[in-house]
Chain A
Amino acid sequence: MMRITALVRSLIAVALACAIVTFGLLALGASPTIVFTALAEGAFGNWLACTDTLVKATPLLFCGLSIALAFEASLWNIGADGQLIAGAMAAGACGPWLSRWPHPLAVLAILGVGTLSGALWGGIAGWLRARRDVSEVISTIMLNFTAAQLLSWAVHGPLMEPTHAFPKSAPIASSAELQLYFAPSRLNLGMLLGAILAVGCYYFLFYTQTGFELRAMGRNARAAHYFGIKTRRLTIITMGLSGALAGIGGAVHIAAITHRLYETLSPGWGYEAIAVALVARLNPLAIVPAAVLFGALDNGAQAMQRSAGVSPVLVHVIQAFVIILMLTFDSLASRHRVMSGGGTPTTKGAAPTAMDLVDA
């Protein structure tokens, strides 16, 4: 029963967001009909569009899982972007060296280094929070910018391709590439991998002891600590896992789509994925369809630019309104949960908890 009202809420939020944007478009003198038709066609108009929607959804899926996991622990990981870049960089750096490896091993290797690299990037923020009491909101955002600069430097410098003609890295070995199916579509195993990880995350959160401890810490860190849960260590582990998830996403993107590193990588997936995570109410299983929805928006936005002359960043506006509406609905629906997000009476340093983002 609860799940259905939650689903309805999410759908209404998306619909309302589109409605609001419609009015805005009218104000700008753009035709909403053209815009939304272009969006829809771009997203689902033909087979290629559909596969591209899935392709665009993939990084959102990985980042969404990353964020959902961290948010369940009340760790505000705004750094999925940076962690994804870290994973991509590792993949792009190691990829060219894997030419003699057999295909399955090469793919495992490239994804593996991406995972570790993302875990490291997330773990840094986790350590800073656990040991130095540095807000992970700030540190992860700072790490985002840092990762972006690192990438730029790397492709202009040490990782630059041998001819030194363009700022991009050498291509990864073909054995490390993720195969594309149904050419010219770019459908690859990445989405499937993401879906499997989603199931894994769900199981982890709700069926394992560590997952339980993570959720307990996220809802009441004091009580969790009182009962022997090692919250500091758990913080680092959670941020590491979160970073790892985003990191695989980066590696998958390199291995399947771009095959090399360029100056820029993410158009803001890490921030968009926050909307994904919220619409899914932090439930890993629901992140899959939520990611597809937002992937459709992203995909359609390109077409929308061509047909309607509206900048693709319009999707950011839609995403923003989705978040705002979700937050509003949750707040109104749970008036009796007075300290929504605070959870406990005001204590020193009472950090916000994510509890009303979750299904209840």
Chain B
Amino acid sequence: MTRYATSASIIYRRATWLVETNLLVAAGITKRFGPTLALDAVDFHAAAGSIHALIGENGAGKSTLINVLTGRVAADSGTITLDGNPMDDRSPAACLRAGIAAVFQSPMLFEQMSWEENLVFGGFERSGSRLDLAAIRTQARGIAEPLAVPLPRDNAPITTLSVSDRVRLEIIRTLSYRPRVLILDEPTSVLGPAELERFLDMLRHLRGQGRVVILVTHKLREALAVADDITILRGGRKVAERRAGETDEPALARLMIGELPEIVSAPEDEGLREEPLLLIDKIGAEHDRRRVLDNASLEINRGEIVGVAGVDGNGQNELAALLAGAIHPSSGVVAGSAADAIAVLPQNRDLDGLILEMPLWENMLLARPLRRRFVGSFGNIDRGAARAFAAENCAQYGIRVPGAEIAARALSGGNRQRLTIARALASDPAVIVAHDICRGLDFNATAEVHRRLRSYAAGGGGVLLISTDLDEIFALCHRIYVISSGHLTEVSADKRNPEDIGMMMSGAS
């Protein structure tokens, strides 16, 4: 009895201490979605004037926790205390009023409108029914200047803004609500190395203003670089909390996935030959009257994994589309024995790579070589054979489904990825072009994809890996190009490091 009372009082004292020293305290947050336990009694606390990183794999519960903190999702149990006051009303509006605001991953900007018009949807003072964009501009400057963030030119529509501009704009909009807690959900996935540093500086400024900045990320290096504290979630539970100075990447990685990760550090040379499979020679291409590819050249040899690093929006999509045959060059040639046998895994899988409303087996038929295989001389499709083929591949690639007849929409993200990879490999291409295919996948799924690509190259194929993730590129690629404004530059061996490549990516050389 006494022991119980003692531990109870210890818990109570710790709880009050936590609340006294921290601005935000979440205790015992639990959330269940049907059979899935998304959050299991998670505790989280952050002090004023700190940057707190929340890390974990996809599906670990980071997004759910954020949704609970911002009121988008109601927790089944648990309390949230802000500045010593427990929050009873946790509707989204109440959380915003209390001072918790978040910038989420999916962009919430209206492309055709100007940035000022976009900021109208924020916490700035309302000017009545007439739009007063000049007032918005002034107020925006009030927020942006202390953070050393440049604003776009007057009345610029969002379509003209760069990716990092957009991220910053969304942050400014969120800051217009004067939040004490600012949550950023994977904001850096679209930034290049140079912009990243500026972005982290901005976070430090925000910290200096006394706010709590919660940075949700899976990028361990960034977390260590900027955060004061790190909370690790795994499988819906908080497994650990560390101070940034007292831990390192391998330890964090291990906490995140529960075991030592398979470290793929350098490309294998098995299967590498001097034989060129694909040559892209001085390709130029236009789209919407913009020059998207500019005198771009690269070469892929048999057994080689070639990397293309770059900030999103510098021509990667167009390069992949070109190799898929979806757009045509206005100058230059694509040559080589592999020119007709290229399989492309597009970045935007659900939009470009799959037809979600069609059954799995018909999605496989989208690949031209497979269509050729199952279509007879009169244009007739051998449905039975195509279905059987699809079922075989499902088994081979670990897509566990009741049948090949189910719509692609019913597949999980990971299974959809496996489907596109299965399709690409099954069509027996000479070269595979993979654009950002590991985004959104967890450690193990990513490792699986990497393994497949490597064994494919080892077997004599060629791989073009287009990615924004330098770790991935260094681990897999024999040679690296950097794409910038539609132009490709090969990275020499002495420049094969993040700093130099970072500079090349931002256009300097």
Interface residues of A, Cβ cutoff 8 Å to B: 206-210, 212, 215-216, 219-220, 222-228, 337, 343-345, 347-348, 353, 355, 360
Report Cα–Cα, A353/B380, bound state, in Å. 25
Out of A227, A337, A344, which one reaches B350, CB within 8 Å? A344
A226-B380 contact, Cβ under 8 Å, with A216-B366, A220-B357, A344-B356: no
Residue ranges of B at the interface with A (Cβ–Cβ < 8 Å): 111, 321, 324-326, 344, 346, 350-358, 362, 365-368, 371, 375, 378-381, 383, 407, 409
Q: Which of A209, A345, A353 contacts B381 (CB 8 A)?
A: A209
In the complex, the number of residue pairs spanning A and B with C-beta atoms less than 8 Å apart equals 73
Q: How far is the CA of A226 from the CA of B352 in the complex (A)?
A: 6
Contacts of A228 on B, CB cut-off 8 Å?
A: 324-326, 368
Would A223 and B354 count as touching, CB distance under 8 A?
Answer: yes
Q: A223 touches which one: B355, B368, B409 (CB < 8 A)?
A: B355
Residues of B within 8 Å of A343, CB to CB, are: 356-357
Docked-complex contact A226 and B367, CB < 8 angstroms? no
Most B-side CB within 10 Å, residue of A206, A227, A228, A343:
A227
Contacts of A212 in B (CB 8 A): 362, 365, 371, 381
Identify which of B351, B358, B366, B380 contacts A345 (C-beta below 8 A): B351
CA distance A223 to B111 in the complex (A): 23
Contact B353 A223 (CB under 8 A): yes
Given contacts A206-B383, A212-B365, 17 further A-B contacts (CB under 8 A): A206-B381, A209-B371, A209-B381, A212-B381, A216-B366, A219-B356, A219-B358, A220-B357, A222-B352, A223-B355, A225-B326, A226-B346, A227-B366, A227-B367, A228-B325, A344-B356, A355-B357
The residues of A that contact B355 with a CB separation of less than 8 Å are 216, 219-220, 223-224
Contact in complex: A226, B326 (CB < 8 Å): yes
A347 partner residues in chain B, CB cutoff 8 A: 351
- Residue in B321, B351, B365, B380 whose beta carbon sits within 8 Å of that of A344 in the complex: B351
A residues less than 8 Å from B354 (CB atoms): 220, 223
User: Which interface residue of B355, B366, B371 has the most chain A CB atoms within 10 A?
Assistant: B355
Say whether, besides A228-B324, A228-B325, A228-B368, A223 and B352 are in contact (CB < 8 Å): yes
CB-defined A-B contacts under 8 Å, sample of 18? A206-B383, A207-B380, A207-B383, A208-B378, A208-B379, A208-B380, A209-B371, A209-B380, A215-B358, A216-B358, A219-B358, A223-B353, A226-B352, A228-B325, A228-B368, A344-B351, A345-B351, A348-B111
Chain B residues near A225: list those with CB within 8 A: 326
**Cβ A345 vs Cβ B383 within 8 A:** no
Contacts of B378 in A (CB 8 A): 208
B381–A207 contact, CB under 8 A? yes
Kindly state the separation between the CA atoms of A355 and B357 in the bound complex, as whole angstroms. Answer: 7
Residues of B within 8 A of A222 (CB): 351-352
How distant is the Cα of A207 from the Cα of B362 in the complex, in angstroms? 12
Residue with the highest number of chain B CB atoms closer than 10 Å, among A212, A215, A353: A212
Neighbouring A residues of B379 by C-beta, 8 Å:
208-210
Q: Kindly report which residue of chain B lies nearest to residue A356, judged by CB atoms.
A: B357
User: How far is the CB of B113 from the nearest CB of chain A, in Å?
Assistant: 14
Tell me the bound Cα distance from A206 to B381 in angstroms: 8
Which residue from chain B places its CB closest to the CB of A355 in the assembled complex?
A: B357
Expressed in whole angstroms, the minimum distance between the Cβ of A293 and any Cβ of chain B is 27
Q: Which residue of B lies closest to A340 (CB)?
A: B357
- Bound Cα distance from A217 to B190, whole angstroms: 30
Q: For residue A221, which residue of chain B has the nearest CB? A: B355
Known: A207-B380, A212-B381, A347-B351. A220 touches B356 (CB 8 A): yes
What is the CA–CA distance of A344 and B366 in the complex, to the nearest angstrom? 17
Assembly CA distance A342 to B369 (angstroms): 29
* B380 → A minimal CB distance (Å): 5
Q: CA A344 – CA B348 in complex, angstroms? A: 11
Residues of B within 8 A of A226 (CB): 321, 324, 326, 344, 346, 352-353
Closest 6 pairs between A and B when the two form their complex, measured CB to CB? A220-B355, A227-B366, A219-B357, A226-B352, A208-B379, A226-B326
Give min CB distance, A164 to chain B, whole Å.
Answer: 50
Chain B proximity of A207: nearest CB distance (Å): 5
A200 to B: closest C-beta gap in Å: 13
CA distance A206 to B359 in the complex (A): 13
Query: Quick one: which of A220, A224, A353 has the most chain B CB within 10 A?
Result: A220
A348 and B407 alpha carbons, distance in the complex (Å): 25
Roughly how many angstroms separate A209 CA and B386 CA in the complex, as a whole number?
12
Cα distance A337–B375 when bound, in Å? 31
B384 to chain A, nearest CB (A): 11
Scoring A216, A219, A226 by chain B CB atoms within 10 A of each residue's CB, the highest score goes to A226
Q: Bound state CA distance, A144 and B5, in angstroms?
A: 86
A220–B350 CA distance with the chains assembled, in angstroms: 10
Please, which residues of chain B bring their CB within 8 A of the CB of A220? Answer: 351, 354-357
Contacts of A344 in B (CB 8 A): 350-351, 356
Is the CB–CB distance between A227 and B351 below 8 Å? Answer: no
Q: How far is the CA of A103 from the CA of B357 in the complex (A)?
A: 47
Q: Choose from A215, A216, A227 the contact partner of B368 (Cβ within 8 Å).
A: A227
Which residue of the partner chain B has the closest CB to A229?
B366
User: In the docked arrangement, what's the CA distance between A207 and B380, Å?
Assistant: 5
* Chain B minimum-CB-distance residue to A343: B357
Complex: chain A residue closest to B355, CB-CB: A220
Shortest Cβ gap from A348 to chain B (Å): 8
A309 to chain B, nearest CB (A): 47
- Report A25 CB to chain B, min CB distance, Å: 40
- The docked-state distance in angstroms from the alpha carbon of A215 to that of B362 is 10
A337: which B residues are within 8 A, CB to CB? 409
Question: Which A residues lie within 8 Å of B346 (CB)?
Answer: 226
Q: What residue in chain A is nearest B366 (Cβ atoms)?
A: A227
Closest to A217 in B: B355
Q: Which residues of A contact B111 (CB under 8 A)?
A: 348
Residues of A within 8 A of B362 (CB): 212, 216
Residues of B within 8 A of A215 (CB): 358
- For residue A206, which residues in chain B have a CB less than 8 angstroms away from its CB? 381, 383
Whole-angstrom CA separation of A215 from B407 in the bound complex: 14
A136 to chain B, nearest CB (A): 21
| A72: min CB distance to chain B, Å | 12
A353 nearest CB neighbor, chain B only: B357
In the bound complex, how far is the Cα of B384 from the Cα of A206, in angstroms?
12
How far apart are the CA atoms of A345 and B350 in the complex, in Å?
A: 9
Q: Give the shortest distance, in Å, between B314 (CB) and chain A (any CB).
A: 20
User: Which residues of the other chain, B, contact A345 by a CB distance below 8 angstroms?
Assistant: 350-351
Query: Nearest residue in B to A350 (C-beta to C-beta)?
Result: B351
- Specify which chain A residues have a CB less than 8 angstroms from the CB of B324 in the assembled complex: 226-228
A21–B357 CA distance with the chains assembled, in angstroms: 35
Q: Which residue in chain B gives the minimum CB-CB distance to A203? A: B380
Chain B minimum-CB-distance residue to A360? B407
- Compute how far the CA of A348 lies from the CA of B159 in the bound complex, rounded to whole angstroms: 12
Chain A residues with Cβ below 8 Å from B407 are 360
Question: How close is A226's CB to chain B, nearest CB, in angstroms?
Answer: 5
Closest to B348 in A: A222
**Chain B residues in 8 Å Cβ range of A227:** 324, 326, 366-368
Counting chain B CB atoms within 10 Å of each CB, the highest count among A212, A223, A348 belongs to A223
Chain B residues with Cβ below 8 Å from A209 are: 371, 375, 379-381
Hey, which chain B residues are within 8 Å of A348, CB to CB?
Answer: 111
A85 to B215, CA, bound (A): 65
Pick the most buried of B324, B350, B366: most chain A CB atoms within 10 A of its CB.
Answer: B366
By beta carbon, the residue of chain B nearest A225 is B326
A267 vs chain B, min Cβ distance (A) = 35
Q: How long is the Cα–Cα vector from A227 to B409 in the complex, in angstroms? A: 19
Cα(A223)–Cα(B354), bound, Å: 6
Contact of B366 among A210, A223, A355, A360 (CB under 8 A): A223
CA distance A224 to B409 in the complex (A): 16
A347 to B321, CA, bound (A): 17
In the complex, what residues of A have CB within 8 A of residue B325's CB? 228
Please name all residues of chain B whose beta carbon is closer than 8 Å to the beta carbon of A219 when the two chains form the complex.
355-358
